Amino acid sequence: MDCYKCEVQLTEENASEEHIILNACGGRLKSKGLLCKKCNSDFGDQFDRELAETTNDLANLLIIKRHNGEPQPIRTIHKATGEKYNIEYGGAPVQSKTNYEITVDKDGKGRLSINAKNEKEFKKTLSGLKRKYPDLDIDKILASAKKETLYLSEPLEINGHIGGKGALKSITKAAINYYLHKGGGREYIKHLLPYLEGKVEMDVAWMHYPEVDIYASPQGEVSHVLKLVGNSKEGILYAYVELFNVHCFIIRLNESYTGADIDFDYVFNVHSYEVKENQTNLKLTKSELNNLFVNKNSEPFEKVKERYARVIPIAYRMQDQYQINKIISKAVDKAFGAVPSGAVMTEELMAAMREQVVGGIMSFIAHRRRER
């Protein structure tokens, strides 16, 4: 076995374990014996990163569990106030900057209001202010401060983007890796290497949203789809890749294909990790395939919007569950944290915990109801 890019012989040390669908998207299908570590990481730097950025919003909102690392926060601006917010993993918006305001009443009393994303930032801001206003009694302020979770009254807007040269390359690599993983011959994909390496431009991959879905995702499911077809009669080898049921691509791998007739697919449920096969429908002639690359100017925004509209309510449900679990475990930790180890759980402590849980959940639910 050697690396299909640089042809170095693969050993235990230098062989990389390749995520065929990016780890950034929560992909779990792996293959060994395709690329060396160096080439794998070069491809990662050159173009996989762009696809990871393109799909990060969905990975974040859908609470995707990756093999390594968590999805990045989504940066966004609150239109009503112009303030910057980060949507954290799990969907909670957190203001990115701490701000404070000092007002003086008619009777000369000063009022200080600090809006911080967490206690640490709150204390940091207070210490900073102490240098400017030495009279501030930090301990007194902290003792009387009440911590409150505030909810935004207006939703935040996220700007999504699709396509992009690097993203298309990354999709092409996924199709090549899936083909080789399935035992395909390297001679049918070799001509695509200069394209992956950035030496030539090639028209290999493009967005694809046909009228009839290639995979009909059941209600409530979000999945990734890989589809590979080799048709020796038509002389074509092509693939279809769908990420989160939103980003859909067709990949023209070879137009003088003489290999075996193949039809493989892989459908991966991003939440249950269930894998399905023989669930997709795609049959193209050579001219149909090539036509998909002719009228490329019309970008399928309406189709993408429809697909987002199907997936976002699923993300909301996932987030509700995630946030409610978080509220409960926080309240339990807080209640138990107050109990010295070995002490008996009293009725009072139970009541305090109930109050924390119910209070937290009620304000969260009230906010969600207002929002919809």
Where does this chain bind Zn ion (CB under 5 A)? 3, 5-6, 36, 39
Residue by residue, what is the 3-state secondary structure of 250-264?
EEEEECCCCCCCEEE
CB of 192 to Zn ion, least distance (A): 15
Whole-number Cα distances in Å, 194 to 133, 173, 183, 187, 230: 63, 12, 22, 14, 22
Cβ proximity to Zn ion, 16 vs 54, nearer residue = 16
CB of 72 to Zn ion, least distance (A): 28
Cβ proximity to Zn ion, 3 vs 331, nearer residue = 3
Cβ proximity to Zn ion, 42 vs 242, nearer residue = 42
CB of 14 to Zn ion, least distance (A): 8
CB of 3 to Zn ion, least distance (A): 3
Residue with tokens 């290639």: 214
Cβ proximity to Zn ion, 36 vs 64, nearer residue = 36
Cβ proximity to Zn ion, 161 vs 199, nearer residue = 199
Cβ proximity to Zn ion, 41 vs 281, nearer residue = 41
C-alpha 132/C-alpha 112 separation (Å) is 13
CB of 15 to Zn ion, least distance (A): 10
CB of 88 to Zn ion, least distance (A): 37
Cβ proximity to Zn ion, 34 vs 61, nearer residue = 34
Cβ proximity to Zn ion, 39 vs 253, nearer residue = 39
CB of 196 to Zn ion, least distance (A): 12
CB of 16 to Zn ion, least distance (A): 9
C-alpha 4/C-alpha 33 separation (Å) is 9
Cβ proximity to Zn ion, 39 vs 353, nearer residue = 39
Whole-number Cα distances in Å, 238 to 8, 251, 271, 280: 27, 6, 28, 14
Cβ proximity to Zn ion, 6 vs 102, nearer residue = 6
Strand order in the sheet with 74-77: 74-77, 84-87, 93-95
b/e sequence 267-289, b meaning 16+ C-beta within 10 Å:
bbebbeeeebeebbebebebeeb
Residue 30 buriedness (CB in 10 A; 0-12 / 13-18 / 19+): middle
CB of 245 to Zn ion, least distance (A): 33
Residue 60 buriedness (CB in 10 A; 0-12 / 13-18 / 19+): buried
CB of 37 to Zn ion, least distance (A): 8
